[in-house]
Amino acid sequence: GIGADIWFNGNVVAGNRKAALMIRQSLDPRAAFAAAVLRSDGMATLQYRPDTGAAAKSTDVIAQTNLTSTVYVSFERHGDAFTMWGGKMGKMGGPIPFSSPVTVTMNGPVYVGLAVASSDSATEGNAVFSNVRIQPLKAQ
């Protein structure tokens, strides 16, 4: 899994900015992926492509914590099941499940990383990631 404290710095523009924890099969734009996305309007989204070449999907969830301030987000993978969690700053794991698990088929090595974006070309996407942790999936 991957986790980090995430905070939007600067002027927060409602919903335009996004910070994400991402796991993807490859760097191919059509690759299978799953991403725990925070939006600057306080919403959380689990975005994913279940298989290579499939249409991307998302599940918006109602934030159960104030995502416009620093919050710890954890994105866990167990086999092909991915779940997004949120908690207080500096606290790994939950306790707040933002999503039910989604299934994304990935095999062998994967890419794990951080992403920042803006859906408005006139608004720069800025976010601060701290206390980042990446933990390999244990063999079963």
pLDDT at 24 over 50: yes
Spell out the residues 6+ positions from residue 108 whose beta carbon is closer than 8 angstroms to its own. none
Whole-number Å distance between alpha carbons of 26 and 28 = 5
The answer to whether 82 and 59 have CB atoms below 8 angstroms apart is no
pTM: 0.82
Average pLDDT, the chain: 80
| Rounded mean pLDDT, 72-83 | 87
Of all residues in the chain, the percent with pLDDT exceeding 70 is 74
pLDDT on residue 140: 44
Counting Cα atoms < 13 Å in the Cβ hemisphere of 22 gives 19
